[in-house]
Amino acid sequence: MKRAVVVGSGAAGATAAKALQGLFDVIVYEPGREFRPLGPSLRFAEKLKRAGLLLNVRQVGLIYPPMRTARTKDGMVLVWGRTTGGTTTMTAGNALRVDGSLRDLGVDLDAEFGELAAEIPISDVHRARWRESTRRLYEAFGEAGLDPRPMPKMADPAKCHGCGRCILGCPTGAKWDARRFLDEARAKGARVVTGAKVEKVVAPSDRASGVVVRRRGRRRFVAADLIILAAGGFGTPAILERSGIVREPRLSVDPVLCVAAPWPGALQNREVPMPFAAGLEGFILSPYFDFLSYFFNPKWPAGPDDIVSLMIKLADSNEGDVRGGKIRKPLTSSDRDRLALAVRLAEDVLARLGIPRAKTYLGTLNAGHPGGMLPLTAAAAGTLHDPRLPANVYVADATLLPGSLGNPPSLTVMALARKVSRLAAGRFA
């Protein structure tokens, strides 16, 4: 059987592995290890926080190794997962279809979204179990003239007890993540090699012969008939650069900024994160206990039970680059203007809970939705293959998104990866 190499095991990689195994002999390369939730270390992290020993966000890798971070020149903390299942292991479980910009290009993902809906448990039944504070916040959003909508979640409601730890790794297995697809691919015979980083694609002509993989300090060439790049919005552009293949300086990341305040007994840290959201022009607003800010931002006081926090998730400008091992992601003046507007709106919602503006404080600017550096165009809508890539190399991850979604992208990324895999198999299986 022909061999397909899938680079990365996150949303797109796991989806591609599942779709391609059987048609190809699939090998998935993943630099991280098997995912483990944060587990009991949360209590340890709380002790460190209270002792004032957590000061630098880089320490996150010590207590929660699958989560990786980098800081941009402007101080924005970029977050991603390096582990089996990729960043999906640390999502809030949000399941939105946000393919408007792809549809505008002529990419029809109806069939793929339909299939995913049949395979992944998605619902908003968590609403029936919202805490009093969440219900009050929902009312406050309405009073502020916003249009809050309960967030559909990828989770098994029977196993979810609303502990609020989704981004730290679900302790009960209720939350769906891409490891399920990876396991299905494995069950059909796919090999998943962890601790293995793909350095580059080898393409002596307009067809690639394979990839160079680095594992345990050794480099090795692996031949492939088909290569699917799914190393994520930061990882895939780096591989393209090392392979001498084009990419565009159009990185978007959906920056997140939380506006927090004291609210005794809010218990938002023990509530489903982002239980609902309101969509506005260029950003969304949603309740979210920001563990990253809580642990690593000294402005956030100890005592997570008594903090209320609203997340602003911005649809940022497509301006940024991954080059020479560094990530450049400036915020444009338009990004900053919209952030300032969103902060005022969040403060307005909090004021309706009786919290004066003077009591609010901001979180650490962070971002976890990288993509956009080899954006799809209308010309490639039929093939989902950028003609600048070797014929048998496809990009399947968030790198393909034509612009910032300002919304949770993983379901859309998976639908896209499934279609890419189908089209690639049609040509090369």
Ligand X SMILES: Cc1cc2nc3c(=O)[nH]c(=O)nc-3n(C[C@H](O)[C@H](O)[C@H](O)COP(=O)(O)OP(=O)(O)OC[C@H]3O[C@@H](n4cnc5c(N)ncnc54)[C@H](O)[C@@H]3O)c2cc1C
Residue 333 Cβ vs ligand X, minimum distance, rounded to whole Å: 25
Closest CA to 399 of 265, 198, 231, 206: 231
User: Distance between CA 404 and CA 387 in Å, rounded?
Assistant: 22
419 binds ligand X (CB under 6 A): no
Contact 73/50 with Cβ under 8 angstroms? no
Residue 177 Cβ vs ligand X, minimum distance, rounded to whole Å: 9
Phi-psi region of 217 (alpha: psi -120 to 50; beta: other; left: phi over 0): left
38 binds ligand SF4 (CB under 6 A): no
Give phi and psi for 5, each to the nearest 5.
-100, 125
**Residues 5, 7, 54, 331: which binds ligand X (CB under 6 A)?**
7
Give the residue with the Cβ less far from ligand X, 141 or 289. Answer: 289
**Residues 121, 152, 162, 233: which binds ligand X (CB under 6 A)?**
233
User: Distance between CA 334 and CA 282 in Å, rounded?
Assistant: 10
Give the residue with the Cβ less far from ligand X, 198 or 362. Answer: 198
Residue 155 interaction partner, one of ligand SF4, ligand X, none, beta carbon < 5-8 Å per kind: ligand SF4
Residue 303 Cβ vs ligand SF4, minimum distance, rounded to whole Å: 20
Closest CA to 42 of 148, 170, 225, 140: 170
31 binds ligand X (CB under 6 A): yes
Residues 66-95 that bind ligand X (CB under 6 A): 79-82, 86-88, 90-94
Residue 86 interaction partner, one of ligand X, ligand SF4, none, beta carbon < 5-8 Å per kind: ligand X
Residue 315 Cβ vs ligand X, minimum distance, rounded to whole Å: 14
Rounded to the nearest 10°, the torsion over CA 129, 134, 137, 141 is -50
33 binds ligand SF4 (CB under 6 A): no
Give the residue with the Cβ less far from ligand SF4, 39 or 301. Answer: 39
**Residues 155, 230, 245, 350: which binds ligand SF4 (CB under 6 A)?**
155
327 binds ligand X (CB under 6 A): no
Interacting span for ligand X (CB under 6 A) from 30-38, 127-135, 319-327, 344-352: 30-38
Residue 84 Cβ vs ligand X, minimum distance, rounded to whole Å: 7
- Residue with structure tokens 């993902």? 109
Q: At a CB cut-off of 8 Å and minimum separation 6, what does 351 contact? A: 357
Rounded to the nearest 10°, the torsion over CA 385, 402, 154, 140 is -170
Give the residue with the Cβ less far from ligand SF4, 131 or 175. Answer: 175
Could you give the angle at which helices 11-20 and 410-428 cross, rounded to 10 degrees? Answer: 30
Q: At a CB cut-off of 8 Å and minimum separation 6, what does 360 contact? A: 259, 260, 261, 346, 347, 350
Residues 384-413 that bind ligand X (CB under 6 A): 397-398, 408-411, 413
How many residues touch ligand SF4 under the rule CB under 6 A: the total is 14
Contact 405/253 with Cβ under 8 angstroms? no
DSSP track, 227-261: EEE-SHHHHHHHHHHHTT----SB-B--EEEEEEE
With b meaning 16 or more CB within 10 Å and e meaning fewer, what string describes 305-328? ebbbbbbbbbbbbbbbbbeeeebe
Give the residue with the Cβ less far from ligand X, 32 or 169. Answer: 32
Tokens representing residue 324 in the block: 């020479």
How many residues touch ligand X under the rule CB under 6 A: the total is 41
User: Distance between CA 255 and CA 233 in Å, rounded?
Assistant: 14
Give the residue with the Cβ less far from ligand X, 49 or 82. Answer: 82
Residues 242-281 that bind ligand SF4 (CB under 6 A): 272
Residue 175 interaction partner, one of ligand X, ligand SF4, none, beta carbon < 5-8 Å per kind: ligand SF4
Residues 365-384 that bind ligand X (CB under 6 A): 368-369
164 binds ligand SF4 (CB under 6 A): yes
Give the residue with the Cβ less far from ligand SF4, 125 or 144. Answer: 125
230 binds ligand X (CB under 6 A): yes
- Give the HSE-up count for residue 335: Cα atoms under 13 Å, Cβ half-sphere: 22
Could you give the angle at which helices 110-119 and 410-428 cross, rounded to 10 degrees? Answer: 110
Closest CA to 38 of 4, 80, 66, 76: 66
State the residues that interact with ligand X by CB under 6 A.
7-13, 29-32, 79-82, 86-88, 90-94, 167, 197-198, 230-233, 235, 239, 368-369, 397-398, 408-411, 413
State the residues that interact with ligand SF4 by CB under 6 A.
93, 155, 160-166, 170, 172, 174-175, 272
